[in-house]
Amino acid sequence: MDFLLHGFNLFIFVIIGALYLFMPNLMNKYLLFGVTLNDEILSDNLINDIKKRYKTSAFIVWITTMAIYIGVIFTLEVMTATLVYAGLLIIQIVITYLIYFKAHKAVKEVKSKYEFVESTVQTIDTDEGKEFKVVKMMWYLLYLVIIMILVVVSINKYPELPEQIATHFDATGIADGFSDKSYMTILLMPITMTFLALMFMGINYTMKKAKKVSGVSREKLSFKQESKFRYLWSIATYLMGLILIGIFTMIQLTIIGVSDYGSNLMTLILGSTGLIVLMVAGLAIHTGQSGSRLKTNKKENQVVDKEDDSHWKGGILYFNPKDPSIFVHKRFGIGMTLNFGSPIAWVILAAIIGFIIFSLVSGS
């Protein structure tokens, strides 16, 4: 079991490190480190130097943190080593983002030396008004059916449960955390699953309704590219949610004593999590940012859209009160982010943070 846990941790190290290292290659090349560029600026030798420095620095951080963890494996107990691993992973991500911000600033400095000319050409978007295809909401009923069955089984099992209920299990599947018997204790997991189901349904709805990508210089994505990108990620999102619902179902059945997965519980959790990570990484490499790596036979108009760098703080946070969109495509990374200029975005963020705090307090 120790070997399995350490192997999984190293696997996550490799995937996350590689994604951050090659992220510039997955992004639209005209949105380098969150800055809108054109062909003239991209041809500047300083741009290539910035990309090389970012990759070199990210690689050094990646290898160093992973090497430290490998050394820890042979000197510390498994649980202590796992805590160190979590700390090293956070350090790796934080330092990599600091390297990114340095590259972002350097690219902006290069851009400032040029006169960024926006096109005055107006084109007709024949895809305007079309809706993006995503997984139909009816498929999410399976989530809710599983949760409802779990609630019924848990309530029926409640009278038979002991006064102390196992609610946490160690890496070997042995219970090491207990809570007093109550309906809240046995329903906390189904409540968490319900929140996850609603969250994934919301993500799916967002993929369908979020505005089309704009502000990308001279390589505007076709509707076909972006539509395929959203459809593939909506399928992946549905499958990720289904896997998580399955994991929580196994944990709940173990808690109420219907099934005893024992030592297999951690193996199933690690295996399922690894599957999710592989799926996300593989799809990110296949699609690129907003579908920029997807091939299409449709010829695009060579147009320079109005750049909106001023609304992107550090190329990471989007803040535009005049934009009605709640979600927009990321400029560094794959997927979408909130428009923090919208009050609704802050409500969504507060709801997520509030639920996490509620789950931690209720589970303690």
- In this structure, is residue 331 part of a structural domain? no
Q: What is the pLDDT of residue 32?
A: 85
Q: What is the mean pLDDT of residues 97-116?
A: 88
The mean per-residue pLDDT over the stretch 260-275 comes to 74
Instruction: Say whether both 36 and 157 belong to one domain.
Output: no
pLDDT at 218 over 60: no
Among 288, 307, 326, identify where a domain stops: 307
The pLDDT value given to residue 114: 80
Q: Are residues 104 and 212 in the same domain?
A: no
Its domain, for residue 184, covers: 133-307
| Co-location of 99 and 189 in the same domain | no
Identity of residue 343:
P
Position 304 scores a pLDDT of 41
Same domain? For 98 and 156 the reply is no
pLDDT score, position 148: 94
pTM (two decimals): 0.71
Q: 241 and 169, same structural domain?
A: yes
- Judge if 16 and 140 occupy the same domain: no
Mean pLDDT of 254-277: 76
Quick one: 102 and 241 in the same domain? no
CA-nearest of 185, 195, 189, 183 to 150 is 189
Both 269 and 297 in a single domain? Answer: yes
Residue 354 lies in a domain: no
Q: What are phi and psi of 15, to 5 degrees?
A: -65, -50
Of 117, 146, 171, the position where a domain reaches its end is 117
Is residue 318 situated within a structural domain? no
Tokens 């399922």: give the residue: 272
In the numeric block, the tokens 């147009």 are attached to 303
Mean pLDDT of the chain: 79
For the chain, the domain total comes to: 2
Which of 72, 89, 117 is the C-terminal boundary of a domain? Answer: 117
CA angle 46, 93, 171 (to 5 degrees): 155
Task: Report pLDDT for 126.
Answer: 46
> pLDDT tens digits for 220-246?
566 777 788 888 989 999 999 999 898
Mean pLDDT on 152-158: 89
Average pLDDT estimate for 333-350: 82
Assigned domain for 237 exists = yes
Q: Identify whether 336 is part of a domain.
A: no
Dihedral of the CA atoms 347, 349, 354, 357 (nearest 10)? -170
Tell me: do 169 and 38 sit in the same domain.
Answer: no
Pair (160, 303) in one structural domain: yes
Residue 364 lies in a domain: no
Question: For residues 78 and 69, is the Cβ–Cβ distance under 8 A?
Answer: no
DSSP string for residues in 250-263: HHHHHHTTS---TT
Q: What pLDDT is recorded for position 142?
A: 93
- Give the integer Cα–Cα distance in Å for 73 and 84: 10
Same domain, 256 and 296: yes
Claim to verify: residue 262 and residue 195 sit in the same structural domain = yes
Confidence of residue 216 (pLDDT cuts 50, 70, 90): very low
Are 104 and 315 spatial neighbours (Cβ–Cβ below 8 Å)?
yes
SS3 state of residue 76: coil
Position 42 pLDDT exceeds 50: yes
Does residue 59 form part of some domain? Answer: yes
Residue 124 lies in a domain: no
The pLDDT tens digits of the residues spanning 300-323 come to 444 444 567 788 888 888 888 887
Q: State the pLDDT at residue 360.
A: 60
